[in-house]
Amino acid sequence: MATIDDVKKLAALARMRVGDAELAKFTSEFDAILAYVGQLEQLNLPKDLKAGKPPVRNVMREDGEPHKGGTYTEKLAEQFSAREGNALSVKQIIQHGKAFASAPRYEKTK
Amino acid sequence: MGKLSLQLPDMKKLNEMTIEEAARALRAREYSVQDLWDACIKAIHENNPKLNAYLEIFPADTAAVAAAQKRIDTEGEKAPLLCGIPLAIKDNILIEGKIASAASKMLENYRATYDATVVKKLKETGALFLGRTNMDEFAMGSSTEHSAFGKTLNPHDTTRVPGGSSGGSAAAVAAHLAIAALGSDTGGSIRQPAALTGLVGLKPTYGAVSRSGLIAMGSSLDQIGPLTKTVADARILYEAIRGKDVLDSTTIPDGLYKTAKPVKHLRIGVPKDLLKEGIDEDVRKTFDVMLEKLMKAGHTLVDIELPTSAHALAAYYVIMPAEVSTNLARLDGIRYGHFSRGDTLLDDYINSRTEGFGEETRRRILLGTFVLSSGYIDAYYRKADAARAILRKEYDDSFTKVDVITFPTTLSPAFKFGDKGDPLSMYLEDIFTVTANLTGMPAISVPMGNVKRDGKDLPVGIHFTAPHQGEEILFAIGAAVEKI
């Protein structure tokens, strides 16, 4: 049985926010979905499951020639939320004597 | 005397042709590549505003059109069959320089920085791309109702869904807004829309087609495949996109599995226990009639048992969300995608993800986070993984007695918009198709007839699964169904 607190915790773990109205909805839907997938409990599992597992095979390969440096730089950098030159710019997260939560506000550079 | 029309009244319009027909007409100089492209674009402009099959229509790539024409002119019969053929591409497959949004606000402005391997291969054949097609957000859904950019309508009855998640690709081909299309299939996302729109849909063997450049949903389940008007077209498109790829280490070499060649008369396995309940009466009747006809055509029906199939959907709805929550963790708005600033870096992530993801995507991320969390992983994920292994073993065992396994692709014909409001009833749409994704085996849906609803003929599909790398057997049985 899922509770509203459970769903809140899952949302925090998944780096998402769920509004109060949606919390109640998700929680009741979770109960129905988990009751359905709970039927797996009835399965009698044989001890040796190797027979059904896909065969393991070596997928290692020799390194190929890498593409020329800079080929994709501009295309990738264009998509950054904020950039400084060709660098991706993010908030500072560690400062001497200061905790993560009190990191300074981020100033957009572009 | 009036001017004679060059086009006979019963002649197909250019955009209504199959790949085979169009390739023949181009080689015979009956039409030019430009004519074919223009016919498709005209049909799109006329019908897409109503159907919403395409999210974006690409401007004509005049260089590609000219190159395809030149290749047909110089190479003639030796030119690839797809040369000059206009295709629709699902919005989760990357085409360099084009937006690939996976029908999500999260990637609304994401521009692909490289070609998916399948796109690269299609470009090499000279195929052309008409646009990117609508889908359920991140391929999660069975109706396209979960697209962030509006639903797609079923061309056979616009009050009904075209299926999903590749519903845009299906509607585009069914309404002749493309000669053929690519979709992706994680639990039935090619085969279910194909069935509901009267098309052929193939989910290849896991590893047959490279996933490089496919926006990942469930990495152990996803495959790209064709949605086409005929089985022969599905084969052409499949042959063009398949093959081992250094960019996807899960791709497999030819002959990895020992699969028998198709014979004239096939042994068709029917898991009768699974068909006892839940199937719409008219669908069941159409299915039984088709089996009867296949038997009369010389094929043999064999009763088989696949007891774990009854638990396949439950296992799927543990494994798939687990992989979804893992794959979609990369989307935080920082390097690309929707970005919403907060006070801290954590707020940046939370704001971007909360605003960027739609409801169904968030539901599945939460579900995946739950089944992977310590304390539950044994009860859910490990159990589902074990069920998957048993299921695969049952299928392998059955394939010692039969060449293909069949059931209807869906329980019912296309449903009306809003009819499957609660998530679980929508999930049940995939009850038959998910097994092929869990086992990694290839599967095809082929039209088997129509059922009448509200005075309209709605197509339904018959589904066949073959052993790993048994696509040729699927094309053989598919062609047999088409002949009936």
Q: What is the pLDDT of residue A51?
A: 67
Q: Which CATH number fits domain B14-241: 1.20.20.10, 1.10.760.10, 3.30.1370.60, 3.90.1300.10?
A: 3.90.1300.10
- The one-character DSSP state at A84 is E
Residue A54 has pLDDT above 80, yes or no: no
Contact of B287 with B481, CB cutoff 8 Å: no
Residue B2 has pLDDT above 60, yes or no: no
pLDDT at B126 over 50: yes
Percent of chain A with pLDDT over 90: 43
Q: Choosing from B101, B104, B184, B189, which is the catalytic residue?
A: B189
What are the tokens at B453? Answer: 């609803």
Mean pLDDT of chain A, nearest integer: 82
Q: What confidence score (pLDDT) does residue B17 get?
A: 97
A33 contact residues in B (CB cutoff 8 A): 317, 367, 423-424, 427
Per-residue model confidence (pLDDT) at position A92: 80
A106–B341 CB contact, under 8 Å: yes
Q: Which amino acid is at B181?
A: A
Judging contacts by C-beta atoms under 8 Å, the chain A residues touching residue B363 are 26, 29
Helix (H) or strand (E) holding A87: strand A87-88
Q: Is B189 a catalytic residue?
A: yes
Span A6-25, mean pLDDT?
Answer: 94
Place A98 in a pLDDT band, splitting at 50, 70 and 90: low
CA-nearest residue to A30 within chain B is B367
Closest approach of A85 to chain B, Cα-based (Å): 14
Q: Taking the CA of residue B180 as centre, how many other CA atoms within 13 Å lie in the half-sphere pointing to its CB? A: 33
- Residue B240 burial (C-beta neighbours within 10 Å; 0-12, 13-18, 19+): buried
User: Given a cut of 50, is residue A1 above it in pLDDT?
Assistant: yes
The residue among A91 and B326 whose pLDDT is bigger is B326
Residue-level pLDDT at B331: 97
What confidence category does residue B3 fall into, taking pLDDT thresholds of 50, 70 and 90? very low
* Cis-peptide into B165, omega within 30 deg: yes
Cβ-Cβ contacts under 8 Å, A59 against chain B: 249-250
Q: Which of the four pLDDT bands, split at 50, 70 and 90, describes residue A56?
A: confident
Q: Place B428 in a pLDDT band, splitting at 50, 70 and 90.
A: confident
Percent helix, strand and coil across chain A, each to the nearest 5: 40, 5, 55
Domains of chain A by residue range: 4-42, 75-102
Please, which pLDDT band fits residue B8 given cuts at 50, 70 and 90? very low
Residue A10 has pLDDT above 50, yes or no: yes
Strand B443-453 to B456-465 pairing: antiparallel
Q: What is the pLDDT of residue B1?
A: 38
Share of chain B above pLDDT 70, in %: 98
User: Taking a contact as any Cβ pair under 8 Å apart, which residues of chain A between 86 and 105 contact chain B?
Assistant: 88, 90-91, 93, 100-101, 103, 105
Least confident range from A62-76, B37-51, B119-133, B185-199: namely A62-76
CA distances (Å), origin B404, targets B263, B393, B398: 12, 15, 9
Write down the pLDDT at residue B320: 97
| The token pair that represents B31 in the structure block | 């039409």
Q: Across the interface, do A10 and B336 touch by the CB < 8 Å criterion?
A: no
Q: What is the three-state SS of chain B?
A: CCCCCCCCCCCCCHHHCCHHHHHHHHHCCCCCHHHHHHHHHHHHHHHHHHHCCEEEECCCCHHHHHHHHHHHHHHHHHCCCCCCCEEEEECCECCCCCECCCCCHHHCCCECCCCCHHHHHHHHHCCEEEEEECCCHHHCCCCCCCCCCCCCCECCECCECCCCCCHHHHHHHHCCCCCEEEEEECCCCCHHHHHHHCCEEEECCCCCECCCCECCCCCCCCEEEEEECCHHHHHHHHHHHECCECCECCCCCCCCCCCCCCCCCCEEEECHHHHCCCCCHHHHHHHHHHHHHHHHCCCEEEECCCHHHHHHHHHHHHHHHHHHHHHHHHCCCCCCCCCCCCCCHHHHHHHHHHHHCCHHHHHHHHHHHHHHCCCCCHHHHHHHHHHHHHHHHHHHHHCCCCCEEEEECCCCCCCECCCCCCHHHHHHHHCCCHHHHHHCCCEEEEEEEEEEECCEEEEEEEEEECCCCCHHHHHHHHHHHHHC
Q: Name the pLDDT band for A49 (thresholds 50, 70, 90).
A: low
Residues 456-475, chain B, touching A (beta carbon < 8 A): none
A44/B457: higher pLDDT: B457
Domain ranges in chain B?
A: 14-241
Kindly report, residue by residue over B369-409, the tens digit of the pLDDT. 999 988 888 889 989 999 999 999 999 999 999 999 999 99
Which residue in A1, A16, A74 has the most chain B C-beta atoms within 10 A of its own C-beta, making it the best mutation to test that interface?
A16
Nearest to B196 by CA among B413, B51, B408, B426: B413
Would you call B422 and A7 a contact, using CB atoms and an 8 Å cutoff? no
Which of A16, A34, A38 is opposite residue B354, by nearest beta carbon? Answer: A16
Which candidate from B110, B345, B380 shows the least CB-CB separation from A91? B345
pLDDT at B9: 46
* Residue A4 touches partner B, C-beta closer than 8 Å: no
Determine which helix (DSSP H) or strand (DSSP E) holds A27, and give its type and residue range: helix A20-37
- Overall size of chain A counted in residues: 110
* Residue B4, pLDDT above cutoff 50: no
Taking only the tens place, the pLDDT of each residue in B80-95 is 999 999 999 999 999 9
Tokens of residue B22, six digits: 């169009």
CA distances from B261 to B294, B298, B397, B473 (A): 19, 17, 18, 7
In B, which residues are within 8 Å of A44 by CB distance?
A: none
- pLDDT tier for residue A95 given thresholds of 50, 70 and 90: low
Q: How many CB atoms sit inside 10 A of residue B249's CB?
A: 13
Strand partners, B208: none
- Gap from A15 CA to chain B (nearest CA, Å): 5
Our CA-based measurement puts residue A94 at a distance from the nearest CA of chain B, in whole angstroms, of 11
Torsion sign across C-alpha atoms B214, B220, B224, B228 = negative
The yes-or-no answer on residue B90 being catalytic is yes
* Chain B residue nearest residue A49, CA to CA: B389
Res A97 pLDDT > 70: no
How close does chain B come to A87, measured CA to CA in Å? 10
Closest residue by Cα to residue B443 from B407, B391, B483:
B407
CB–CB contact A90 B334 (8 Å): yes
Tell me the per-residue pLDDT of B209-227, one tens digit each, with 9 for 90 and over. 999 999 999 999 999 999 9
Alpha carbon distance B456, B459 (integer Å):
10
Residues of chain A with Cβ-Cβ distance to B422 below 8 Å are 29, 32
Instruction: Measure the CA–CA gap between B182 and B228, rounded to whole angstroms.
Output: 9
CA distance B334 to chain A (A): 5
Query: ipTM of the assembly?
Result: 0.86
Judged against a pLDDT cut of 70, whether residue A108 lies above it is answered with no
